[in-house]
Structure 1
């Protein structure tokens, strides 16, 4: 729908009647006034360029102020168009002032080395009708023009003073812009123009949290824009942090609270209401968006937009705020900004408050309303909407736990801690600074703030004692506890999940103790959803081009894998994902890591040794990795192969024969995948399934691999080959490996008594590798190993159902009546149990009573008794099938 046509004459009439400043402009610009009344001009063109810069800018500002105001009042310019026109002029004026200030002092110099960073509403292109601008002025000592024997700092300050004079000095034509330089670092002691490197150092090491919020709306707006952009690029990690900083979030809310207190007289809607700082005002809509941007923008670059309404739309699209909330805030923000402009049009004053006397009626009538009461009622839904939504952010400080031991113990008992859990002793130790991370005043304050949140969550965990012990261990190992504690305080739902992880999942608890920032990953909108595709995961893992910075690539992959692997485990603990889907997610994650790190290792290796012509590395995955169903604790079964002639030689500065080349390259890939770096460990790698096992070379040519599989491989090696899947190499090389596997499994192999050899091998395995506990879903008789043996023997004996994915292989064999249909359900139960127990009972022992419900839910059983009964029945079914298959 389109609105009514612009009412140009009505707008001019209202301007003359209710806005003295606009009345004056209409009288001084009769030609423009006539054009506006006839709807012939929307934004006035700049005046002729042959006038002095200061006069030209003042006249341009005057004409722009008139045309924008009348266009706004007529309904021809919406808020976006109004603020864009005002901001474009401010940018242009600031840039021209900088160039003029430089050329006045240095006529032959290029206007470089001096930049203005626009903050506030100029930075977000939302400038007010009668706003000042808040730039930070920077200079580069190496490129700034200056006179002989003139220090760069002195030259920069002189230029800066002239810029300010050109813009804000008043004469009969008015002024250009008010300039406020107080947003620069430490304005009470620093010069008005700062060296760029000093400014970067400040924001990297000393800046305050509110300054992060200010730089959400920063923009290189004028002067040497390349210099300004270099500065913004350098401080981007300061503004957008992957690790969440809830201290910054709290400080911004505190700023809002202080504003409410300081401007108490303008908090209540009515005459005198402060449209900017009042409760439910413009500032709260802006802060709401900025708080969410600070929390999530470090991990989601799409949220790094400066304009408030655009930020709200992006946050809603990403799911961080509700669509209804975003719409209410954006609509209310637009109305409040529009009325703010009306107030400023009256006398061209930088004010945000509604008049307190009869002038309120004038502002209302300027907007086209009957009187001040009508204006107040127009604003009421908007301010109520913003205030309600913003108040929802206010996690007002919860009562602290008492320091009186009797009262403390009573409170902990009320939460649910048993008398012998030692909860009171733990709290006392934390308060005494038992661990280094709890010894600073800031850490103790954060601890006190979070105790009323975290202790009830730990008490209601299925195993409070275990949860408390692991939380204690987490605090003990933290280098700094402040941000973790603030994060838990700010997100109670995350605290509950953390308590469940600490209570149930020792491997995840250990990972969290080593890397507390893993909690940040759980706030990602997709953390508890399916893992992305292998290409998407690989893209997230890459750092530049392969080989650019090998060490950085190794560390980055370890961080990404650790974060996603932790989130996958949390999905099982939270009960939001099927362990079968989690197993597939673990596998996609490992495949992406293998692709990225193998490519990086190849690129790094080629720097020294070049390439072997017409040859390349191919990596074959076997076992659970080949089958696409890993657990949290799985290793990677890999075989390294290479195409081309084994007698070839590399063409680098340090040439190697092909066999030695690819063997050393295989060692490099294994190290890339397995060696712990500063970012932690990655995957254990097992290469013993290669031809000739541990006694054979690490990497063999495709010809040697095929010959070995056709002529020498044992039955157990062909059984392993049924789950072979190439995970690295060109499409052609992978297909060549697949073709070899298909020929061998299809019958191009020695004729052997498959059942007898498999039966003997399974007996040896049972003797040397017994079950680790009564719930070992893998090694118990009738467990996954017996099921896998049965499947592989049937596949090899009948040359049918070959698929690395065991579920699909079973389905194919069932379809041909080679396995009973119960084997698919058996596989699913045993795999779900294996994936879950690797997290919550790694020793396969009987779990604590509190953990049994989690396991039952994961394997889709009603309760623990059903888990035990179904496991027994399933094992009996698998044992029977294996016994039948093993007879041959």
Structure 2
């Protein structure tokens, strides 16, 4: 890219505060163009430090200002590369002087934006650290002090690495920054000699610090601070990566996690540094949303202010632009804390820079775009003032001058002659920053809650004994939270019911700090919990055991459109791929599935989707779990027993899964069909004959789905629809399946095939099985025994699973299973491959088995019953009892059914079921009498 010369890009200039100094510089550089002369004069009239640099580097400066500053900066950075160790200090100091002058003038003249100014200063720090470390390590190697290392190992500093922390790590060094470094070495490179290597690296660290920090006639390069290393009070200046990892795993604190957001290898063995940071990822980025970090950050801010005496109203004189009220650190903490909260789940939020982090948070909905944009503007303005403060005398200061005269100097340095306007604008920006950030950090004040009855007060008083409120921190957080919780619960139709349900939720929580912090940071979740407690105690019980699923509610995409099976499967595949251990993959799958399952339930509860959309979503989710899990189970099995022999195996979804419609409590009906293609056994470390291979593989898949693990189980699995039911093998060969379906299967098994759907397996084998399914339906649907067998089957079902209550929607005459049986019969008789009830009834009408009036009546009743069933399964895992689901549950069902009240719902269900039962009885006929 071609850049214009410095002189052609000027957009602004400081105003000289000291007229005499400005006049001297005008005279000294009078040969330059007028706008450059004014830039230099204004700068010299505000900064004694920059005035002295102009004089010392005058010849270089004249040339630099008529060239592109990017080219000049690159040359200055490259110059020290070729010098020997003895001359490196002087070469780096010259590079520092020139780049300090160039970046200051580019900043003051508006030639470079903030990011290029701070990025250039950071590039110099990187170069200085890397060159110093590599040259000093080379000297240790030359002296034989690093065991097993040769001259070529100096290029990677013998396994030593410098991690840039803070502003250096983010590429945001301010004008007179210290550089914060953590120095480590790769102990694995030295085996038993690691302690000898450590002694050499400690020498390198000390010599490097002196080389960079000592003040000589040429100035200094960077003041270096090594105190961010683990346990700095007792550890040497360079420690092993293993020791650092052990420290962070056992003792790491929130402020150290925040520090590592910006950490970056900047010198020495960069690859080893990247490996170390990758190993530290679980420490920095927690898998669950981490709202406790908010309180930790708040406490840290208060401790800093207490230590430095920075409380109180904003006064311009002496105000600390970094740590004071409304200062730079407020914006950095605001950004970093939200990154810590959510960055474990969303790597796109792990931007090292403050501006980049704010933009990423806004893009994902963690910060409103308008607020993020305003904070970026405030951050840039604060950094410019900070730079002017430091440019005056090259001092590592963040304090505004203590006198009105000093403040006037900074106003002029910022190009403002109206000092009063400068002061007002600065104060306004500080106050605005404080307003935008303080509400996020400061815990809410305890307010008086609503008045309670004696019985309700007794329940609330009992909360103090619950496990979730064992720690003092949890108690303090909950005290702030309780008034809003009670107010939200009072919005329920029946407050007492909602309170009892919430009490059950709270009693089951194993711990509360994280969850209460999450509620404080996201008050809308309180309404959601109150809604769930008032409506669906079953979901509240589930939440108490799996409170981590609430992470998903505020994870940025909870209310986005449903992604569908393919995207869900990719998401689970990626999540499991991120962990190596097989059991951890299974636990990951459970945690992932529960979050999505919870999302469907909440969307249904809140009326964002109806029962049929929920049914499709639950089925999509189950499909995705099977699609992603089957290769993982198969891969683990193949590792021991070799790849699947023959053409492989297909998992068929049966019943409701096959039809693609599940409810909140559905189990999965599955069968497995394999094709050995004449292959007798697998080839692997422990080969198996083909039949036991697929039987054990099937059992491994069932175990993967059903096993109770720390994160619970995925699904219950029912394999009774396989050939010969419980007596048959758990996996069936394709040849046996063909033979059985054509020669032995009963009519009910042919009916089951009308809903069978290949979910995963080799594509060619899936196509073969689907073609055969259609063949069976076509051939077997015309037999004279179909209707008598269906009638007999219906009678047995009615006897075994009668309707037990008025509100039964699934079992009994004219209800879901009865209508599904008729629909399957219609599809079988018509030879139609349709799987869903709607399409199967349509096939029955087209074939003359049903009239169009019958079709509409059956469909209306089925839809009504499905809504009742799907809604009731969200409310409870027992038979629906309107007296037990409470007023919140009744209100949900009435709304879901579009009824005017409970009596209307009852009447419509009763009428619909009776009409459907009459049609089914007429079409199928009575069960044949037994001999």
TM-score (norm 1): 0.91
SS of 2:440's equivalent in the other structure is coil
324, 328, 347: which one aligns with 2:393: 347
Equivalents in 2 of 1:257, 1:885: separation in Å?
A: 78
Kept in 2: contact 1:362–1:371 (CA 8 A): no
Q: Residue 656 of structure 2 aligns with which residue? A: 624
- The CA distance in 2 between the partners of 1:374 and 1:524, in whole Å, is 43
Superimposed CA distance per residue, residues 410-457 of structure 1 (whole angstroms, 9 cap, x where no aligned partner): x55x2xx4433xx333343333xx344533433433443433343333
Match of 1:641 among 673, 684, 687: 673
1:602-681 → structure 2 map (5 Å cutoff): 602-645=634-677, 648-681=680-713
Match of 1:845 among 847, 867, 881: 881
In structure 2, the partner of 1:406 is none
Distance 1:759 1:150 in 2: 84
Preserved contact between residue 645 and residue 679 of structure 2 (Cα < 8 Å): no
**Out of 539, 543, 547, which is 1:508 matched to?**
539
SS at match of 2:215: coil
How many Å separate the matches in 1 of 2:54 and 2:741? 93
1:407 aligns with: none
Name the CA shift for 1:425/1:794 in 2 (closer, same or farther; >3 Å): same
Is the partner of 2:183 in helix, strand or coil?
A: strand
Partner residue, 1:17: 45
1:820-860 deviation digits (Å, cap 9, x = unpaired): 33544433332222111112133211132232112223334
Give the corresponding residue for 1:69.
104
Superposition map of 1:212-251 within 5 A: 212-251=257-296
Aligned-partner SS, 2:61: helix
Are the counterparts in 1 of residues 641 and 688 from structure 2 also a CA contact under 8 Å? yes
Q: CA deviation at 1:61?
A: 0.7
Report the secondary structure of 2:758's partner residue.
Answer: strand
Matched with 2:912 is 874
Shift of 1:260: 5.1
Confirm or deny that 1:195 pairs with 2:203. no
2-structure distance, mates of 1:200, 1:826? 63
**What is the rounded CA distance, in whole Å, between the counterparts of 1:547 and 1:263 in structure 2?**
47
Equivalent in 738, 743, 752 of residue 706 of structure 1: 738
Instruction: Give per-residue Cα distances to partners, 1:579-638, cap 9 Å, x unaligned.
Output: 322221211111121122222222222233324543201111111111111112111111
In structure 2, what is the equivalent of residue 721 of structure 1? Answer: 753
Kindly state the Cα deviation for residue 118 of structure 1 after the two structures are TM-superposed: 1.4
The more displaced of 155-164 and 373-382 is: 373-382
**1:60 corresponds to 2:95:** yes
Residues 474, 55 of structure 1: alpha-carbon distance in 2 compared, 3 angstrom cutoff = same
Deviations 1:318-375 (A, max 9, x none): 1121111111111221222122222222211112233333233333333333233343
Matches within 5 A, 1:674-823: 674-747=706-779, 751-800=783-832, 802-810=833-841, 818=852, 819-823=854-858
Deviation larger for 293-302 or 501-510:
501-510
Structure 1 equivalent of residue 10 of structure 2: 6
Change (3 A) 1:790 1:101: same
> d(CA) in 2 for partners of 1:125 and 1:521?
32
Per-residue deviation, 1:707: 2.9
Task: Tell whether 2:204 aligns with 1:166.
Answer: no
Shift of 1:270: 3.3
Q: Summarize the Cα distance change of 1:119–1:67 in structure 2 as closer, same or farther, 3 Å threshold.
A: same
Check the 8 A contact 1:265/1:273 in 2, yes or no.
no
- Partner in structure 2 of residue 450 of structure 1: 481
SS in 1 for 2:173: coil
Q: Is the 8 A contact 1:814 1:821 kept in 2?
A: no
Paired with 1:97 and 1:284, the residues of 2 have a C-alpha distance of 34
- Structure-2 separation of matches of 1:653 and 1:794: 50
Q: Cα 1:547–1:573, aligned 2, differ >3 Å: closer, same or farther?
A: closer
Identify the residue that residue 376 of structure 1 maps to in structure 2. Answer: 423
Contact 1:114 1:144 in 2 (8 A): no
* Structure-1 separation of matches of 2:499 and 2:337: 31
Question: What is the CA deviation profile of residues 22-74 of structure 1, one whole-angstrom value per residue up to 9, with x for unaligned ones?
Answer: 11111111123213443553443223633611111111011001111112222
Equivalent in the alignment of 2:894: 856
Task: Report the equivalent of 1:205.
Answer: 250
Of the three residues 55, 70, 74, the one matched with 1:27 is 55
Determine which of 424, 439, 460 is the counterpart of 2:457. Answer: 424
Shift of 1:107: 2.3
Provide the residue aligned with 2:227 in structure 1. 182
Task: Tell me if structure 2 keeps the 8 A contact 1:244–1:520.
Answer: yes
How far 1:879 moved relative to its partner?
Answer: 2.6
SS at match of 1:747: helix
Distance between the aligned counterparts of 1:456 and 1:118, measured in 2? 48
Among 434, 441, 447, the residue aligned to 2:472: 441
Query: Are the structure 2 counterparts of residues 154 and 613 from structure 1 closer, same or farther at C-alpha, using a change threshold of 3 Å?
Result: closer
CA RMSD after TM alignment? 2.9
Query: Following TM superposition, by how much is the alpha carbon of 1:503 offset from its aligned partner in structure 2, in angstroms?
Result: 3.3
In structure 2, C-alpha distance between the alignment counterparts of 1:445 and 1:729, rounded to whole Å: 54
Counterpart CA distance in 2 for 1:149 and 1:465 is 66
C-alpha displacement of 1:145:
12
CA distance in 1, matches of 2:686, 2:182: 53
Distance 1:560-1:443 versus aligned 2 partners, 3 A rule: same
CA distance in 1, matches of 2:867, 2:379: 50
Deviates more, 1:806-815 or 1:55-64: 806-815
Distance 1:142 1:637, change over 3 A: closer
Residues 545, 21 of structure 1: alpha-carbon distance in 2 compared, 3 angstrom cutoff: closer
Say if 1:781 and 1:875, in contact at 8 Å, map to a contact too.
yes
Deviation at 1:544, TM superposition (A): 5.9
In the alignment, the residues of structure 1 paired with residue 892 and residue 810 of structure 2 have an alpha-carbon distance, to the nearest angstrom, of: 20
CA separation in 2, counterparts of 1:869 and 1:149?
82
Whether 2:567 is the aligned partner of 1:536: answer yes
- Give the Cα–Cα distance (whole angstroms) in 2 for the partners of residues 480 and 236 of structure 1: 24
Name the CA distance, whole Å, in 2 between partners of 1:395 and 1:608: 56
Distance 1:299 1:142, change over 3 A: closer
Q: 1:55 to 1:825 in 2, by over 3 A?
A: farther
Q: How does 1:42-61 map to 2 (within 5 A)?
A: 42=70, 43-44=72-73, 45-46=75-76, 47=79, 49-50=82-83, 52-61=87-96
Contact 1:216 1:306 in 2 (8 A): yes
Matched, 1:255 2:296: no
Aligned partner of residue 135 in structure 1, secondary structure: strand
Correspondence 1:364 to 2:402:
no
In the other structure, the counterpart of 2:582 is: 550
Unaligned runs of 5+ in 2: 12-34, 144-148, 927-931
How far 1:395 sits from its partner (Å)?
A: 4.8
Give the C-alpha shift of residue 142 in structure 1: 4.7
Deviation at 1:101, TM superposition (A): 2.9
Alignment deviations for residues 784-823 of structure 1 (CA, whole Å, 9 cap, x no partner):
11221222222222334x3223344456666786553354
Q: 1:638 to 1:381 in 2, by over 3 A?
A: same
Deviates further, 118-127 or 855-864: 855-864
CA 1:807–1:597 in structure 2 vs 1: closer, same or farther (change >3 Å)?
same
Are the aligned partners of 2:827 and 2:841 in contact in 1 as well (CA < 8 Å)? Answer: no
Answer whether contact 1:793 1:885 (CA < 8 A) is retained. no
Q: 1:330 aligns with which of 376, 396, 400?
A: 376
Number of aligned residue pairs:
869
The answer to whether the 8 A contact 2:671-2:731 is kept is yes
Question: How far 1:152 moved relative to its partner?
Answer: 4.5
